[in-house]
Structure 1
Amino acid sequence: MLKDLKIAVVGLGYVGLPVAVAFSNKFKVIGFDINKSRIETLLEGNDYTNEVSYEELSRTQIDFTDDPEKLSEAGFIIVTVPTSIDSSNQPDLTSLLAVCKTVGKNMKKGAVVVFESTVYPGTTEEKCIPLLEKYSGLEAGKEFFVGYSPERINPGDKKHTFTKIKKVVSGQNEAVLDFIASIYSSVVEAGIFKAKSIRVAEAAKVIENTQRDVNIALMNELALICNRLEIDTNDVLETAGTKWNFLKFYPGLVGGHCIGVDPYYLTHKAQAIGHHPEVILAGRRINDGIGPYIARTLVKKLIQNNLPVQGTRVTILGLTFKENVPDLRNSKVVDVIRELQEYGVDVQIADACSDTAEAERQYGLTITPEEELLSAPAVILAVPHEKYKKAGWKQFDRLLTNKEGIVFDIKSVLDPKDKPNKIQLWRL
């Protein structure tokens, strides 16, 4: 009976924890993560990702654990560990393959394993299933069963949450597919879409974000052109947007755990089968180059203002990959910082949401408490956290030396009409 089914969620980050919480309303849930400190904080009711509130966690009965043997109690196992790329922009499946080993060693006969991690088409069947079989001693499709259901969690988005986003599911065969669909449909209000196969579902995941990546790349290239033409990109987009079928995308830094990563999974597989993906890789090159471009543009502005580049202080507001989340993974703000530092600029960083220790751990960067920031001749509003948006132009009275200088508004959240006369505004 479904009511007796115990579900295990493996990986309790931005994706896994909301999934575990949603299922805990209908099933007994085991929340497994190898990070002991993560388990300890969750047991205390604290989610450092801010995806789940203290009140929500306190209402759940999730069995949080770092003991892999607990997985043997589950009949349905959902794998939500993150996948990334390496320094050569190749897929890094290290965490996923390690989880396959852990799950294989501890899953019981008859279990259903569903992967939600982003992968290239073919990974589940070519990489994951063989490892599950090897470490479990069981045969896939007969003694245990596998499916794939791509995650669509959008960190910081309180509207498009796990239960309110249509869920794509796939399975080894029709019976497995129907079972997986029935489990997810018990908690997902937005409905279920049954993909034709596991490979189709895997491909759909990477294509969803590749499409956004390419569209943003077009806007970023437009911004590069508009900058040379000395016209405002936002004015151009506002004007073009009056046409009924104009797609509203905007330029910006493209990082994070999805849009800045998923296209490389697709291009990796495409090249493996003999196709060179020109449009996708061109878009990636443009988006990966925006951080250094912003930094070089600021250096030019400093020179034009008769300021020395080496030793000049520049303040960066925001380090996370997007606004109003503490997530620092694949933050392209780091590219801006590294480029400025190569020119000898003295960069000080503030962030209203991210963790100082995590910034040090991931990037070796120090976040300065906002009350300790020194005034500077230039400020880059890189990530418009709500705090910075609310503060508006007034915050630069304190941040800029003598209330005058250069402000880079990367996502164009400041109203140019309200700009003080002594401030030079640049927007991407």
Structure 2
Amino acid sequence: MTTTISDTENRADDRERDRLPLRASDEGTTLEHVDDQSAREATICVVGLGYVGLPLAVGFAQSDYRVIGYDIDESTVERLQEGVDTTGDLSDEAIQDGDISYTTDATEIGEADYVIIAVPTPIDDDDRPDLRFVESAATTVGSKLTAGTTVVLESTVYPGTTQDVLIPALEEASDLTAGEDFFVGYSPERATPGDDEHGLAHVVKVVGAQTEPVLEDVATLYESVVDAGVHRATSIEVAEACKVVENTQRDLNIAFVNELSMALERMDVDTQAVLEAAGTKWNFHDYRPGLVGGHCIPVDPYFLAHRSAQDGYEPELIRAGRDVNESVPDHVADLTIKALNQCHKTLRESRVLVLGLSYKADVGDIRSSKVANVVDSLREYDIDVEGFDPFADADAVQDAFDLEVQETLSFDDFDAVLLATPHAEFERLDLEAVAAELGENPALVDITGTFEEDAAHDAGFVYRRL
């Protein structure tokens, strides 16, 4: 199977053809695959240097590729140029490790053999996919695109986005034709921030592309940096769908145990004990109740539901799961209020210290953290709330949460502690010492059950958990 390349005036004839991993043959009409050694002579441009793009750029640079890291945020690029890790997931040393340059100059995109787009894809206030960043990036890339380049989208999208949104924007801005003058693939990001065991090299990469030759070429490119291997999807749409399906499955499973915890709480039955008992069966899946924040699980189901509804099928279960998980912050606030009442506290005179403000344990990322929703719900009852997080930037938290944040942990003059994000260092807290510092009749709301209930009671707490 071959892919043709048209002879266009825009073709970069001066490009060194022996640097192109997927290059024109001597006749200039077909594409031939190039081996891994030649591929490493390619230049790769990563567009978007956030939690997805930056580790990707660094990973390719550490694997002996020349890498251009492009972003429109001048402050981010300036810090990267100074050798500062702007994500906190890598290291300052890694930022300058290898042949990598950081720039806001879009003209440098034209030097790349591969352009990988890794920009945010949030949802809007109506829970609909917001693809403005993809369209904007495609327009910028397209305006600098040279013939023979391969463009790979890594942003989370719904099936059909690459074909219906990315490619038209690239073609319009470049005046080139996809599949003839340039080539397109899709590979969903799968790395987990703050998880060294599941970074770029350690998670199987899924790749889809327009044609078999392009698929094989892009797969070979990723295989050079992903030790876990590459799965070749049968189409771009399959690759697009797999990412949103992965996280929708997790969302639904968490929604089940969250709903279960709400039901069992009214029955006065211990949810954690029930899950431990049920987990003794060999085929029971271990999911635990909790806040569902971050940039994937609470977002991706909306992408899938949106695309499904466009084709006339309303996915009721997916939307119901989202509704359940979105209700958990209010439920946590309700548990806190019940605990304060049980302690005979007056709500409007109560002070609550929230431990952990980021969206997951042992990372400092507060974006899309549902802890903010819990804080808002508590404030509706005029409860005074303060926070502490050993990982999150205090200034960023104050801006995002409008919350006073402790720099040094202190329990003095609080009525309750709400353990929202179970950072590992919180597990080492001496409950008896904490209770003594809090004063008379303290409450501990331990969302994920970090501490044993009996230990909390023995320390003098009124204890609640999901």
> What is the TM-score with the length of structure 1 in the denominator?
0.96
Q: Distance in 1 between matches of 2:74 and 2:398?
A: 20
C-alpha displacement at 1:43, in angstroms?
2.2
Say how many residue pairs are matched. 427
Shift of 1:153: 1.1
Corresponding position of 1:103: 141
5+ residue gaps, structure 2: 1-37
Correspondence 1:172 to 2:210: yes
Partner of residue 130, structure 2: 92
Q: Answer whether contact 1:11 1:80 (CA < 8 A) is retained.
A: yes
Q: 1:228 aligns with which of 266, 270, 276?
A: 266
Q: Kindly provide the CA deviation profile for residues 293-331 of structure 1, in whole angstroms up to 9, marking residues without a partner as x.
A: 110221122223321111311111111110111111111
Contact 1:83 1:117 in 2 (8 A): yes
Distance of aligned partners of 1:255 and 1:69 in 2 relative to their CA distance in 1, 3 Å threshold: same
Q: 1:386 aligns with which of 421, 424, 441?
A: 424
Q: 1:62 — aligned with what? A: 100
Q: Quick one: which of 326, 339, 353 aligns to 2:377?
A: 339
Q: Residue in 1 aligned with 2:117?
A: 79
Shift in CA distance, 326/421, structure 1 to aligned 2, threshold 3 Å? closer
Give the drift of 1:373. 5.9
Structure 2 equivalent of residue 311 of structure 1:
349
Change (3 A) 1:3 1:305: closer
**Which residue pairs with 1:152 in the alignment?**
190
1:126 aligns with 2:183: no
Match of 2:154 in 1: 116
- Per the TM alignment, residue 55 of structure 1 is displaced from its structure 2 partner at its CA by 3.0
Cα distance, 1:372 vs structure 2: 6.0
SS at match of 1:84: coil
Higher alpha-carbon deviation: 59-68 or 78-87: 59-68
Which has the higher Rg, Structure 1 or Structure 2? 2
Instruction: Pick which of 261-270 and 362-371 moved more.
Output: 362-371
Choose from 29, 34, 39 the match for 1:2: 39
Note the residue ranges of structure 1 that are not aligned, 5 or more in a row. Answer: none
- Residues 394 and 173 (structure 1 numbering): CA distance in 2 closer, same or farther, change over 3 Å? farther
Q: Is the aligned partner of 1:212 residue 2:244?
A: no
CA contact (8 A) 1:375 1:398 kept: no
SS at match of 2:126: coil
SS at match of 1:147: strand
The match for 1:22 is: 59
2:452, 2:100 → 1: CA distance? 46
Residue of structure 2 equivalent to 1:354: 392
Query: Over aligned residue pairs, what C-alpha RMSD do you find?
Result: 1.6
> What does residue 294 of structure 1 align with?
332
Kindly provide the amino acid, as one letter, of the partner of residue 288 in structure 1: E
Secondary structure of the structure 1 residue equivalent to 2:429? helix
Percent identity of equivalent pairs? 43
Provide the residue aligned with 1:275 in structure 2.
313
Structure 2 letter corresponding to 1:222:
L
**Greater Cα offset, 33-42 or 383-392:** 383-392
Residue number among 404, 409, 414 corresponding to 2:451 in the alignment: 414
* 8 Å Cα contact 2:187/2:208 also seen in 1: yes
Residue 57 of structure 1 and its aligned partner are, at CA, apart by: 2.6
Whole-Å Cα distance in 2 between the matches of residues 7 and 362 of structure 1?
A: 34
Q: Is the partner of 1:4 in helix, strand or coil?
A: coil
Deviations 1:175-219 (A, max 9, x none): 111110110011111011000111111111100000000000000
* Residue number in structure 2 paired with 1:255: 293
CA distance in 1, matches of 2:216, 2:277: 48
**Paired residue type of 2:72:** I
The alpha-carbon deviation at position 284 of structure 1 amounts to 0.5
TM-score, normalized by length of structure 2? 0.88
The structure-2 alpha-carbon separation of the partners of 1:392 and 1:21, relative to structure 1 and needing over 3 Å to count, comes to: farther
Distance apart, 1:273 and its partner CA = 0.9
Q: Which amino acid aligns with 1:234?
A: Q
Flag the 1:201–1:82 CA change in 2: closer, same or farther, 3 A.
same
